[in-house]
Structure 1
Amino acid sequence: MNDVRTVTEADFDDWQRALSVGFTDPPVIAREQLDARRKKFVPGRYLGIVDDGRWVATLRSFEQELTVVGGGVVPADAISGVTVSPTHRRRGMLSRMMAQDLAAARERGDVVATLIAAEYPIYGRFGFGPATWASRWTVETRRSGLDPRWSGPDDGGRIELLDAEEVRKLGPELHDRFRLGRPGAISRGELWWQEHTGVLRTHAEFKEPTYALYRAAHGEAQGLVSYASDRTWSGKQPDQTANVFKLFGTTPAAERGLWHYLCSIDWVSRVDSGYRAPDDLLPLCLPDPRAARITEHGDWLWVRVLDVVRALEARTYDREGALVLEIEDEAGFAAGRYRLDASPSGASCTPTTASADLALHVRELASVWLGGESLLRLAALGRVREEREGAARQADALFRSPGLPWCPDMF
């Protein structure tokens, strides 16, 4: 059996080639891209397996902050770059890498691990559950009912075009304000901003988008969008789609202003929203919501709870309640029975020997933790077991959040 190895600086290029093969990308990577990716290298956080001198499995992780219900944050082990070469499938390599990474994360004190799952069936067996979902809309601008002569927000705010350097200056602070108000949102480090504004060319296909900022009447930056048009013309008529890469706002006015701006751009017939929260404001921003058609919907951020006590104490609760939860976890990180005492003024969670009210797997705990799933629905599906009559309804009300969690980022 091949052991899991920690990647060194000397291994980095060959490990990256194995990553490309695992993702069915071309195995030859330009030197500029390799050098750019090397800036993200953190010793001890890149793992892999070598067979006969060749890297055949990869996994990396990095530090992350995840916002929970109420605006608190918890430290997370963000997992990415998970591959096994097609010649080495079904040999337990992913299981061994994941076990080592999660054990290290728990030892560091990370409350959860996170990832974006390429395929739905893979990660449930490691204790991950889908904690946020995402929807994608296509807006037919001519059907939207918006005034085509719109020239700017009517609330005293304004839309400003930015260049990449200005985005790197304004974006981080603006995004930090946004993410602390949105459960499911994650932190973005300096390298993220460099990579997404073209300073760090980790992939050959980067093309600089257009950036627009919403600034409120009192001068505060409150929203940012990046987008690009496909420049389609048909029969001497413009028929373009504006593809949104990222759009976030710290206020509803900022979000509405940016959507109205995108829908009012000359020559743009459609706006592709990119992946949004399922309860996003977008459709109802339009006088005719039917002009916004959902084209995709699916799971997004997956979470694996490593520390039940800190996870349940980190978030807020809008009502008072007490529950005893029996958590199943084959890996042992979260297994046990816990009493949660919650109220709007705070929560405490302690191990207990009292009789359980509900029994559920750690992956189901991950799905309900941020308020993105209903405990009643999971109970109806047989994935949560009621040990006390009425406990599922009580727990569902306790874990409910004001809005759905959303993670805007892929990693």
Structure 2
Amino acid sequence: MSTDVRTIAASEFPEWLNALCAGFLNASPVPESDVVQRAEHTDLARVQGAFDTDTGRCVGTFRSFAQELTVPGGARLPASAVSNVAVLATHRRRGLLSRMMRAELTAAKERGEVLSTLIAAEYPIYGRYGYGPAAGIAEWEIDVPRAGIDRRRPVPADGGRIDLVDAAEMRRVGPVLHERLRTTTPGLVSRDERWWNLATGLEEVSIRPYKPKFFAVYRSAAGEVEGAVAYRADDHWTDAKVPLTTVEVQDLLAVTVAAERALWHYLCSIDWVMKVRTGYRAPDDLAPLLLPDPRSARTLTSADYLWVRLLDVAAALRARTYAVPGTLVLDVTDPDGYAGGRFRLDAGTAAGTAECAPTGEPADLRLDVARLGSLYLGDESAVRLAALGGIEELRPGALALADAMLRTARRPWCPDVF
């Protein structure tokens, strides 16, 4: 059984979409209206398909798109975001993903994209392509009666206010808040206009039908919008007419702690609501600690989420900031040849300055590119990875210095599915 892996033609896009849906276990054919709409927002030059040469059928899918990733210090690096990866069950274990991944990483390197990102559906797959888990997520379910919030006082105590708004207003203020938050939060990725249109119902595709949401914004005492939340609520009651409503947060953005506190307290003060599901938050999110009883927030999910694959080590390490000054020589191995080499990283005494360039000096640490990806956003510990055999310390004290330099005070966060 032979296969051909290539960039698809426009005429092959409908079949490619149906193969994608089949790969994700959706048996419904893609409507023509969805094909037209998605084609308008897809760069076909970055779409690959694997085709069975005997039948001509598309049996594997792969797509990337241009993205910006915020790194520690606030710089936004050009990234190749990998998505829509699927191989039909009839054609597994034939190296199709490896061929598509190799073509994409080669093209991304040529385009000058410093790194590649993805959300891994399955953990064991992507490490062999040089990706490392770089930012995790957590989700909590708040038991509202136990939380201890005084539901008789829903007005923020700081003089601010919360208002319900319509989708058009959320479409206006949401991107502004997200851009402000992106300057301070490593791991956040860019959201284009279509992301916001889909999130607010201005656009819709049948395979992901829009479900109406509530939108609320927090305004400070000075009248400035500092936070917003999108959420849904079910309508569940017991036979004894006791409300058991659950609110599910779809997106919550806050650029101040006051806004964050006010929004969570508001959600826990809505009549009939017994549970609040937080949606994907950073693993060290403040939400539980903003409640009078943090134990009322039960962990539902704690997992890896955003994976990073470096393509230009020197550019990536120069772009971010470091918690303390120091110098490290890293011997980075990359079996695929995109980012290997020995690099000297100098984090200067002036805040935010760093230099990184290839060097012939003796290495302080030896690690592969996937482990460096895990360390890059500041979430993982070099000491932990070394204990697991993933990093070799070649100079005493280098592991401790790497942790002091690379770790961030707050953990990186990416809530977006792509």
- Map of 1:121-136 to 2, 5 A cutoff? 121-136=124-139
RMSD between superposed Cα atoms in Å: 1.1
Alignment partner of 1:269 is 2:270: no
Q: Does 1:405 align with 2:412?
A: yes
Q: 1:288 to 1:96 in 2, by over 3 A?
A: same
2:176 equivalent to 1:173? yes
Q: What do residues 287-314 of structure 1 show as CA deviations (whole Å, max 9, x unaligned)?
A: 1111011111100000000000111011
Residue 97 of structure 1 aligns with which residue? Answer: 100
Q: Cα offset for 1:204? A: 4.5
User: CA shift at 1:199, angstroms?
Assistant: 2.2
TM-score (norm 2): 0.96
- 2:99 is paired with a residue of what secondary structure? helix
The match for 1:228 is 232
CA distance in 1, matches of 2:170, 2:34: 22
Matched, 1:153 2:156: yes
Q: Alpha carbons of 1:174 and 1:272: their partners in 2 closer, same or farther (altered >3 Å)? A: same
1-10 vs 158-167, which deviates more? Answer: 1-10
Find runs of 4+ consecutive structure 1 residues off by over 4 angstroms: none
CA distance in 2, matches of 1:254, 1:111: 34
> Partners in 1 of 2:352 and 2:95 — Cα distance?
46
Q: CA 1:84/1:243 → structure 2, altered by over 3 Å: closer, same or farther?
A: same
Task: Give the 3 Å change call, closer, same or farther, for CA 67–162 of structure 1 in structure 2.
Answer: same
Would you say 1:120 and 2:127 are equivalent positions? no
Cα pair 2:136 2:302 within 8 Å, conserved? yes
Shift of 1:338: 0.3
2:6 corresponding residue in structure 1: 5
Task: Give distance in 2, aligned partners of 1:64 and 1:380.
Answer: 33
SS where residue 222 of structure 2 aligns?
coil
One-letter amino acid of the counterpart of residue 24, structure 2 = F
CA shift, 1:162, in A, is 1.6
- Aligned identity (percent) is 52
Partner Cα distance (1:62, 1:378) in 2: 30
- The residue aligned with 1:66 is 69
| C-alpha distance in structure 2 between counterparts of 1:36 and 1:367, whole Å | 36
Opposite residue 16 of structure 1, the aligned amino acid is: L
CA shift at 1:43, angstroms?
A: 2.6
Q: Within 5 Å, which residues of 2 pair with 1:375-386?
A: 375-386=382-393
Q: Does structure 2 conserve the Cα–Cα contact (< 8 Å) formed by 1:18 and 1:27?
A: no
Q: With structure 1 as the length reference, what TM-score do the two structures score?
A: 0.98
By how many angstroms is 1:345 displaced? 4.2
Amino acid at match of 1:91: R
Task: Answer yes or no: is 1:354 the counterpart of 2:361.
Answer: yes
Report the AA paired with residue 370 of structure 1.
L
Deviation at residue 205 of structure 1 after TM alignment:
3.4
Structure 2 residue aligned with 1:216, among 213, 220, 231?
Answer: 220
| 2:241 equivalent to 1:240 | no
Assess if the C-alpha contact under 8 Å between 1:144 and 1:291 holds in 2: yes
Q: Distance in 1 between matches of 2:232 and 2:61?
A: 33
C-alpha contact 1:140 1:269 (8 A) present in aligned 2: yes
Matches of 1:250 and 1:385, distance apart in 2: 39
Give per-residue Cα distances to partners, 1:357-376, cap 9 Å, x unaligned: 00001011011111110011
Match of 2:264 in 1: 259
CA distances 1:244-272 after superposition (whole Å, capped 9, x unpaired): 11111111111111101101000000001
Q: Distance in 1 between matches of 2:401 and 2:382?
A: 9
Does the 8 Å CA contact 1:36/1:201 hold for their aligned counterparts? no
1:312 to 314, 317, 331: 317
Matched, 1:143 2:149: no
> Equivalent of 2:81, from 78, 92, 97?
78
Letter of the structure 2 residue corresponding to residue 43 of structure 1: L
1:163 matched to which residue of 2?
A: 166
- Equivalents in 2 of 1:204, 1:98: separation in Å? 26
Aligned partners of 2:233 and 2:247 also within 8 Å: yes
Q: Secondary structure at the match of 1:131?
A: strand
Spell out, residue by residue over 1:164-190, the C-alpha distance to the aligned partner (whole angstroms, 9 max, x if none): 111222211221111121000000000
Is the contact made by 2:177 and 2:253 (CA closer than 8 Å) also made in structure 1?
Answer: no
Match in the other structure for 2:29: 28
Tell me, yes or no, if the aligned pair for 1:49 and 1:58 is still in contact at 8 Å.
yes
In structure 1, C-alpha distance between the alignment counterparts of 2:292 and 2:253, rounded to whole Å: 21
- Map 1:377-396 onto structure 2 (within 5 A): 377-396=384-403
For residues 285 and 124 of structure 2, the distance between their equivalents in structure 1, rounded to whole angstroms, comes to 27
Shift of 1:408: 1.5
2:115 & 2:223 partners in 1: Cα distance?
A: 37
Separation (CA, whole Å) in 1 of partners of 2:208 and 2:81: 24
SS in 2 for 1:276: coil
CA contact (8 A) 2:198 2:210 kept: no
1:303 aligns with 2:304: no
User: Structure 2 stretches of 5 or more lacking a match?
Assistant: none
Tell me, yes or no, if the aligned pair for 1:36 and 1:200 is still in contact at 8 Å.
no
